[in-house]
Structure formats: structure tokens, C-alpha cells
Amino acid sequence: MSDQHSFETLAIHAGQEADPLTGAVVPPIYQVSTYKQDGVGGLRNGYEYSRSANPTRTALEENLAALEGGVRGLAFASGLAAEDCLLRTLLSPGDHVVIPNDAYGGTFRLFAKVVGRWGVEWSVADTSDPAAVRAALRPETKVIWVETPSNPLLGITDIAAVAGVAHEAGVKLVVDNTFASPYLQQPLSLGADVVVHSTTKYMGGHSDVVGGALVTADAGLGEELAFHQNAMGAVAGPFDAWLTLRGIKTLAVRMDRHSANAERVTELLVSHPKVTEVFYPGLPGHRLHEVAAKQMRSFGGMVSFRVAGGEEAAVEVCNRAKLFTLGESLGGVESLIEHPGRMTHASVAGSQLEVPADLVRVSVGIESVDDLLADLTQALG
């Protein structure tokens, strides 16, 4: 399908032509491990074994590449599996990575507890400040890692500015685009080299599948990543790929509703006497609001806030919520609430990435916003 089509059209059609055998408008779930070959070494359409390639996964990977404006998309069993493959492809012992000072806890754990054991070094920088990123570079730096918006403090990085820093130094820029989704933001068009997703979140959108993705703008790097994907084997299964494709079809309309609901939620929180600080890039008072407005279509469905009364008060808000389900993850149609310090970001406790103990994070779903506002009001007390 032509990449000249609009995002909404690509989300429904890219990689998903009607099945040539039956005319089915939805790609079949090829729940198969191996394929009959047309003679020894004669692969039919390139398929031999589903770790290497599977038609359902191919449909998803083509769709991901189209949505991010890249040349190669790769689908994995989880977001962290995608990150692991990417780091093993890009890095060798002795290399160095710059990571954000407010990264997702699982990403931090991968660097601190796993990557470090390979002999790879990392250091932390405030990626919202291109000068701080430049100052963190070393001769052995190979990758700058960015989340924007970040998890859980909704920090914003100027992708184009940091891409300039990276490429001036001959360094790859990796952008985790999970919070925004390609509907709201396309980092490759702003100079990023690789985009990372936990497709578990907004791409899948229904809290019923775990997955991850990489998309690259460079065909050669795409081939290297595909080699490691096959060699390491943490691929998306066919049913998981099918569920993710199903979710992507409604990504645009869901993200519009997530964003609209989140804006109303922030209005409530900003004016509430028991809330001391609100983190949301759509707020004019956000330090990098103008950067977010420049590089994002709208501001997404994630909101974090600090509660007067400290950690126990924040935990109680989470426990009192009813419509907002207490749970980890994000990006589903249903609203979720959590305490990052004790849940998703427990792994960064005691580090430079430690989050405030009084912080609450909400993933604003697509329910009636009036019902969501009522629930938050009673939860805050």
C-alpha cells in the first residue's frame, strides 16, 4: 500500500491486503510452525519456519513500518524483548549508552542488571536538555536512548534537537514512542534512527496481548535487527500479531479519545486542593509544552500527579479508586491507576531515576469522562 495514504487508512490497510485464497478482509492467523518447501531449499514466498517468518507477523511488521514511516518493522514477544534485541545488535563490550533520567523502570533494569554484565557502560542525562545530552557523550558512546513522553513523569525531549546532537557525534538515536504511539508522534521523521514500542500498550489497546516492536529508517540496520531477531527468537506469535493488528485498526480514534479525556482529567487535578503537582505535556505550564505541541499531534492519555500527604496518601488514592482499575501497564481502553514507586518503577528505587513517593500515575481510558472525573474526585477525598 502506498505510504501516501493518511494514517487512518494505513492503520487499517497497510500489510493487510485481502487474503488471495478466500478474499478474507482480515489476515488469517497462520498458527503454524513449519512450511512445505518447493524442493530442497525452495522456500514458498520465503517461509520455512515461523521463528524466522510467519505471514501474520509479516502483516504486522509491514503495518508497523508504514505507520512509523520506516523501511523495516520487526515484531517481538514483548517491548523488553525488542529492546534486548536492539541493544545486542548495536552494542559491544566497552560501548557506552546515554539513558534518560526518567526512563521506564523495566528499561532501567535491563541496562543496570543485564546490559552492564556484557561490559556495556551507561550514564544518565536529562534528555530534555540537548546540552546535557551532549555533555554526557563519551568517545565510546554508541547510543542515545530517549523516551518522550517519558514514564512516569511525562517529560518531553526535543527529538530533532537530540537527533542533531547524536548524528554530529556519529551516535544512534533510539526513541521509545510507546506513550505517544505513531498516531501522535513519528520520531523517524524527526531524525531518530530507531523507534521502540511496547505494542502491549496503545498499539494493542485492549489489555489482551503482550508485544513489542522496532522500526528503523535504514534498510541495512533493519537487516541486522532481523538477523538477531531470528537468532535470538523472541518473536511475536501469530495470534499475538493478529490481536495487535486488530487493535491498530482503531488506534487513531482511540488516541483522539484518550487525549480528550486526559485533558479533562488534568483540568480537575490542577484545581484540586489535594494535588500538589500535575505532569502532562498538554498543560501550558509544562516546561516543554511548546516542544510537545511542535512534535505531537495531541498529548496522549497518560497523566501523573503528586498528592498532598505523601506516600501513604498517594497509595490510598490508588486504593480508593473504583472505575480506575488498580493495575500496572497502560494504554488500554479501560482506565488504570497505579503507584509507580511501589509498582512499575520499584526497580529504580535508590537510583538516579527514583520517582517521587507521593506520585500517582493514571492511564486515562475511553470511558465517559464524566464518570472518570467522578471516580477521581471520590478517590482524592
CA distance 309 to 314: 8
Q: What share of the chain is helix, strand, coil (3-state, %, to 5)?
A: 40, 15, 45
The backbone torsions φ and ψ at residue 162, rounded to the nearest 5 degrees and listed phi first, read -70, -30
The 3-state secondary structure of 56-119 reads HHHHHHHHHHHHHCCCEEEEECCHHHHHHHHHHHHCCCCCEEEEECCCCHHHHHHHHHHHHHHC
CA distance 92 to 141: 11
Quickly count helices (H) and strands (E) in the chain. 13, 12
Cell of 85: 534485541
Are the C-beta atoms of residues 235 and 76 closer than 8 Å to each other? yes
Query: Which is catalytic among the residues 72, 201, 306, 361?
Result: 201
Instruction: Decide if 95 is catalytic.
Output: no
Distances (CA, A) of 255 to 42, 125, 346: 44, 30, 28
Instruction: Decide if 104 is catalytic.
Output: yes
Distances (CA, A) of 56 to 35, 86, 326: 14, 22, 33
CA distance 282 to 81: 31
Q: What's CA 75's distance to the chain center, in Å?
A: 13
Q: Where are the beta strands (DSSP E) in 150-246?
A: 172-176, 194-198, 212-216
CA distance 32 to 27: 14
Instruction: Decide if 176 is catalytic.
Output: yes
Instruction: Decide if 35 is catalytic.
Output: no
Please name the residues in contact with 189: beta carbons below 8 A apart, sequence gap of 6 or more. 69
Are the C-beta atoms of residues 214 and 232 closer than 8 Å to each other? no
By DSSP bridging, strand 72-76 and strand 302-307 are unpaired
Query: Which is catalytic among the residues 95, 102, 158, 176?
Result: 176
User: Which of 144, 184, 172, 175 shows the shortest CA–CA distance to 295?
Assistant: 184
Are the C-beta atoms of residues 181 and 210 closer than 8 Å to each other? no
Annotated catalytic residues are 51, 104, 176, 201
